[in-house]
Structure 1
Amino acid sequence: MHPLKVVFVHDVVCGWCYLLSPRLHSLAKQLNLDVHHQCFTLQASREAMLEAFGSMGDAKETILGHWEKCVAAEDTPRINIDGMRAQTFEYPHGMPGALACKAAEMQAGQQGHWRMFDRVQYAHLTESRNIGDSQVLRSLAEEIGLDMVRYDLDVLSETTQQAVEKDHHLASKLGVQSVPTLIVEDRWLINGAQPIESLRLQLQEVRQHIG
């Protein structure tokens, strides 16, 4: 069976992406999916956070409200709202994590990107760590076994920054407006963290359509 190409468009700070990733891991094995990753940071800077939410405090409270909806839809309880609410650091935007994931991809391919993405999300949504902190991200990169000399170079490189920006541009060009989104065979969009059986049905329909 020919692999079905699926691009997982995501943001490291996105709770719904946290729900979708394990579902996609399961489906990738069951349906022979060739999963690629594109970064799509909804707010790429502190300034963008302020523009979107008014203040960093309001940003955190609004986003934790979104987390409550995610908790209600989790397959396995993992999201720690109280843990994040208790932290004193500003709620992070997604760009540092996106750069870390892209740096992982540069040395370990798409699977490396996915390992880093999952680890960063776990640190953020379960462990209540500050994934806006470069040292936190560096420790996660080391934990998943990346070459740290190369990581330190790649995460700060202009090439990595451009690759993250290119991801956003390509996804937007295909009509992506929110995360998570799956782009199937560069044509079909599946939006949101849908239940696994709904995802399975839609992916099987695409496979039948393309023969």
Structure 2
Amino acid sequence: MRLAVTTIEFFHDAVCGWCYLLSPRLRKIAAKYPVKVVHRAFVLQSNQLEMIARFGSLAQAKREILQHWEQCQRYAEHPELINIERMRAAPFNYPTGYLAALYAKAIEKLGGQQAHWDFFDVVQRAHLYEARNIADVKVLNDIAKAHGFTYPELLATLYSPEVKKAVMHDKLRAENFGIRTIPSLVIDGTKVVSQTLSLDQLEQLIATHVERQHVEEES
């Protein structure tokens, strides 16, 4: 009997270090279990004014967020892929993830969920390891181009009302589930997990869910 597919909605922000840890773990789960991952943009701060409102200043935002990076590094399978000092020395203010979310949704519209995921992971690596400014259009255009998306086709989609609505839709969906932090997972539209699970924890959760589904199908 073919097992039912479990849908995992992955709420994330490109600037989120904990999302950076969770994404490759989810990839391993998706390769092993009948799982469909749906990507949801959940941008914590959309612009610099929101950053200042949250942290007090842009300088303080960078200092505090890099402290979060230190915590992420301690729980990472590959701590060397989180380059705190490189980002600390970067000459730009700490970026927000809003523009990256628009690009990801545009690419999703053009290439589907897998294209969104692939783009998101490369953007996160550019941010957390390469210390590139992912609020810079040129940086995101370079990444999109490397994934086979030409600027004219991307531009035609990027600033369309549909893409902005898609980002807003994901935010409203998060609010409907009471999600306030990222990363968050919603499993089959019912179970919300708002923490960064280890690979073992994630596998136990999904394996149990899949087995329960199997039992219900047979009963």
Shorter-chain TM-score: which interval? over 0.9
Q: Cα offset for 1:153?
A: 1.7
Match of 2:182 in 1: 179
User: What code does the residue aligned with 1:207 have?
Assistant: V
Q: CA–CA distance in 2 between the matches of 1:143 and 1:194?
A: 30
Which segment drifts farther, 144-153 or 117-126?
144-153
Taking only the aligned residue pairs, the percentage that are identical comes to 37
Does 1:58 pair with 2:57?
A: no
Tell me the SS of whatever aligns to 2:179.
Answer: coil
Aligned partner of residue 128 in structure 1, secondary structure: coil
Deviation at 1:29, TM superposition (A): 0.6
**How does the TM-score come out when normalised to structure 1?**
0.97
Which of 27, 34, 40 does residue 25 from structure 1 map onto? 27
Of 141-150 and 101-110, deviating more is 141-150
Q: CA RMSD in A?
A: 1.0
1:101 aligned partner: 104
- Specify the alignment match of 1:163 in structure 2: 166
Matched, 1:198 2:210: no
Q: Does 1:75 align with 2:77?
A: yes
Distance, in Å, in 2 between the alignment partners of 1:2 and 1:45 is 40
Deviation >6 Å, runs of 4+:
none
Aligned to 1:8: 10
Q: Match of 1:122?
A: 125
> How far off its partner does 1:187 sit?
0.5
Post-superposition shift, 1:206? 2.0
5+ long unaligned stretches in structure 2:
none
- The one of 143, 146, 159 aligned to 1:140: 143
- AA aligned to 2:102 is L
Unaligned runs of at least 5 residues, structure 1? none
- Partner of residue 43, structure 2: 41
Give the secondary structure class of the aligned counterpart of 1:192.
coil
Specify the structure having the higher radius of gyration (Cα): 2
Q: In structure 1, give the amino acid aligned to 2:82.
A: I
Whole-angstrom CA distance in 1 between matches of 2:34 and 2:73: 29
Instruction: Answer with 123-132 or 201-210: which moved more.
Output: 201-210
Instruction: With the length of structure 2 as denominator, give the TM-score of the two structures.
Output: 0.93
| C-alpha displacement of 1:146 | 1.8
SS at match of 1:89: coil
Q: How many residues align?
A: 211
Q: What amino acid does structure 2 have at the position aligned with 1:34?
A: K
Letter aligned with residue 109 of structure 1: G
Q: SS state of the match for residue 132, structure 1? A: coil
